Amino acid sequence: MNLSLYRSSLAAATLATLALGLSLADKNEIPGISGMAPISGSSYLIVQDTKAEKGGNRVGILEVLGDGTNVYSALKVKSLDKGEDRASDLEAIHRIPGRTNEYLAAESGRRANGPGRLFHLALDEDLSGVDVVQSWPLPTRVADPMAWDLGDGDNYEGVTCWALADGRIQLVLGERGGSNSHKRGALISGVLDLKAGALQWLPAAHDLTPKTPGKWIDPNGQRDIADLWYDERDDSIWCAASEDPGDQGPFRSVMWQVAIVGQQDDTTGLRTLSIPETSVCSYTIDGHKIEAISAAPLTIHHAYLSFGAEDEDFGGTWRSLYAPVR
C-alpha cells in the first residue's frame, strides 16, 4: 500500500473511533489484577495492589461477556479504601467454599500499623459493594517483621482454601520468595474456624518449599509464588511464578501444579499436602506478569483455567487458557 494512502486511512479510522466515543480497547481497559476469584460463571471479584499511602480502589468486578469484551467496575469499600488503616497491597483472594459471595483476601505483608491481614469479605447480593466481616493477622516468618525494608520481610501473594469435614477451612498461603529474607517461596498452612472467628497458622516447620519449573533469565531472581488456586477437579494446587526486572518488564511467567491435596490425617484433622517429586511446567507465558489464577469462565468454550496479570506500567490483562498439553 502507498505510505501516504496508509496514513490517510489510519487517520480516518482514528477519527471514526473518536467519534464513536468508545472502542473495544476502552471496554477492555482493566487495572492490574493481583488476585481474582469467581462470582459467577462469567464474572470475578478482583483485588488490586494499591498501597496504603495511595488513594483509589482496591477491589472490583470483572465481567467476561464472551464476545471479546471484558467489563471492569470498581467497588468503593469504605473499610478497605478509606481511613488511616485502609488496606495495603492486596495480593490474593479466594472464594470461601460452601458460602455464597464470601471471600478471603490477603495483604502482602507489613503495614505501618502492623502485620498484614487476611480479610473475610462479603459481597453484596446486588454486587454493589463489599463488607469486611472480620480480619486476622498474617503469619510472620522473619525475626522482626516491623523492621524490614523494601525487598525484605514476608511477602504473601497467594491464598487458597478448601472445606474440611468438620466445617473448618484449611488454608494455604503463598510466600513469594525472591527477596533478601526469603530466597525461595513457601506454602504456609493454616486452619480457619469461621463460626468461632479463629485462625491458626501452623508453625514454620510445616512450611513447604515449591519446586519451581521453567527456564529463567536470572535463575535466582524469579518469584516462586505469585498466586495459588485449588483445583477440586483433581485435588491439585496451581501456582504461578514470575520474573520481573522492572515496571516496564519484560515479564515472564510459568504456571504448574505445585502441590497435591491428599486425604484427611486422623491426628490433625487436616488434609495432607505434598510437593510432587517432579514439577512439570504446564504453561510458559512471556510478556505478562501473572498474579492471579482462577477457574475458567463458562462463557468461553474449551477454556480450562484463566489468569490475570499485573503488568505494572501496562495495566492489567485477563485471559483464558486451554487445558495443558501433557
Give the count of beta carbons closer than 10 Å to the beta carbon of residue 308: 27
Is 12 domain-assigned?
no
Predicted local distance difference test score (pLDDT) of residue 56: 75
Residue 102 is assigned to a structural domain of this protein: yes
Question: Is 2 inside a domain boundary?
Answer: no
> By the 8 A CB rule, do 32 and 64 touch?
no
Q: Which ranges of the chain have pLDDT less than 70?
A: 1-28, 78, 81-83, 145-151
Q: Is residue 11 part of a domain?
A: no
Q: Which residue has the cell 478448601?
A: 162
Give a yes or no: residue 147 inside a domain: yes
What's the confidence (pLDDT) of residue 153?
Answer: 80
Residue 286 domain-assigned? Answer: yes
Q: For residue 85, what are the domain limits?
A: 28-321
State the pLDDT at residue 12: 40
> Quick check: is 23 in a domain?
no
Q: Where are the alpha helices (DSSP H) in the chain?
A: 3-20, 24-27, 78-81
- Biggest CA–CA distance in the chain, Å, is 77
Specify the pLDDT at position 28: 59
pTM for this prediction? 0.88
The CATH number of the domain holding residue 312 is 2.120.10
| Tally of domains within the chain | 1
The answer to the question of residue 4 being in a domain is: no
